[in-house]
Amino acid sequence: MAHVLVVYDIPHDGTRTKVASICEDYGLDRVQYSAFAGELQKVHQEELMAKLRRRLGKLPGKISLFAICERDWRARIEIVREAKGSGTAEGEEGANAGGE
């Protein structure tokens, strides 16, 4: 399995919502409003993109899937600040996945 990042820019609300739902169906986690990340085998990456291509149809938009190797995935740097009351300490930063 490979780590993937799916990002999209789709102006049509209904299509954008359906694209998000399809990403969730593949077990991807929302990391931004129009971005999902997770792990998918190559065959599932291709299947996902085929479904997304069909869903977008002839409407304007762009959908990109980036496969990210394990080394680069571990080297990512994140800053995560949760809203108060979400269970994470206020101002707490997410750990650097690279092991800092």
pLDDT in single tens digits along all 100 residues of the chain:
899 999 999 999 999 999 999 999 999 999 999 999 999 999 999 999 999 999 999 999 999 999 999 999 999 999 988 888 765 444 444 445 444 4
Q: Is residue 45 part of a domain?
A: yes
CATH number at residue 47: 3.30.70.240
Interatomic CA distance for residues 53 and 62, integer angstroms: 9
Q: Is residue 6 part of a domain?
A: yes
Q: Is residue 88 part of a domain?
A: no
Q: Is residue 16 part of a domain?
A: yes
Q: Is residue 90 part of a domain?
A: no
Task: Tell me the whole-structure pTM to 2 decimals.
Answer: 0.80
Is 34 within 8 Å of 56 (Cβ atoms)? no
Is 4 within 8 Å of 37 (Cβ atoms)? yes
Q: What is the pLDDT of residue 90?
A: 43
Number of domains in the chain: 1
Q: Is residue 99 part of a domain?
A: no
Q: Is residue 92 part of a domain?
A: no
Please give the structure tokens belonging to residue 87.
């269970």
Which helix (H) or strand (E) segment holds residue 88: the answer is none
Catalogue the E-assigned strands of 1-100.
Answer: 2-9, 29-32, 35-40, 62-68
Q: What is the pLDDT of residue 84?
A: 85
Domain that holds residue 38: 2-68
